[in-house]
Amino acid sequence: MSTPTTKKPTKPTKKPTMNTTAPTSALNVSRTTATAARVLRQLRHDPRTIVMMILIPCVMLFLLRYVFDGSPRTFDGIGASLLGIFPLITMFLVTSIATLRERTSGTLERLLAMPLGKGDLIAGYALAFGTLAIIQSALATGLAVWFLGLDVVGSPWLLLLVALLDALLGTALGLFVSAFAASEFQAVQFMPAVIFPQLLLCGLFTPRDNMHPVLEAISDVLPMSYAVDGMNEVLRHTDMTATFIRDVLIVAGCALLVLGLGAATLRRRTA
């Protein structure tokens, strides 16, 4: 057996703070899927949340359909927009609370002291909630298109694609803001702070070019505007228009950007 004593004593090391650049691989498939499975397992112990996540958008669409009973054209416009907005809001709420819990319960510190990459954690959450978002959006889209008479000219698959990207954007935003919330109360307040302004300015209530120029300019830089715009493109055009592709790319780009910002808020070393 080799004697460890032959090994020279390690040379004096630098300050420990120098080691924050960890070469842990950015993304590891099995750690990511393990994390996604764990998040879904946690939700499975909470069936009421799952039922509410999946049913509430359907109930809302149903309600909306009969609120605008006399003007089906209005339902088309608002219904399609809402198909994009629901996944964003649900995933925002679920993710911000889930990651806040992870931060406050000490499990995040434990995970980051283990060989888990930040990318694994974020991708794991995105994968788990993305799966839920697909189920949620598929049901809501199916209900709207086939039972409530939502008049879509384009392919419902494209509606689903936009809905999925919106869900990812919601996950990303939720993850990001959870870093700035010290309690569940604060996390819930981020919903009116981050989501409501986008809701007012996204073109749901009135076309964006009818707004005050300042507000229109603001709406131009908010991602939800492009989510709603993308939905409306599918509603009115048979093919993928250039505007649709632009919208999809912007929403996806924003989601990735905010996910990156979210990753930056996960620190292995904290005060």
- Residue from 145, 183, 154, 172 nearest 87 by CA: 172
Nearer to other proteins, 16 or 70 (CB): 16
CA 220 to chain centre: 20
Among the listed residues 15, 48, 73, 212, the single contact to other proteins using CB under 8 A: 15
Residue appearing with tokens 């809905």: 163
User: How does DSSP classify residue 105?
Assistant: T
Among the listed residues 61, 112, 132, 181, the single contact to other proteins using CB under 8 A: 112
- Tokens for 234, please give them: 């599918």
Give the 3-state secondary structure of residue 121. Answer: helix
Nearer to other proteins, 113 or 214 (CB): 113
Cα angle value 128/134/138 (rounded, 5°): 160
CB 97 to other proteins: min, Å: 12
Among the listed residues 72, 109, 145, 236, the single contact to other proteins using CB under 8 A: 109
The one segment of 20-28, 52-60, 151-159, 213-221 that binds other proteins by CB under 8 A: 20-28
| Residues in region 27-46 near other proteins by CB under 8 A | 28, 30-31, 34-35, 37-38, 41-42, 45-46
Residue appearing with tokens 């040379």: 11
Compute the distance between CA of residue 42 and CA of residue 247 in angstroms, rounded to an integer.
34
**Binding residues for other proteins, per CB under 8 A?**
1-2, 4-5, 7, 9-10, 12-20, 22-24, 28, 30-31, 34-35, 37-38, 41-42, 45-46, 105-107, 109-116, 267-271
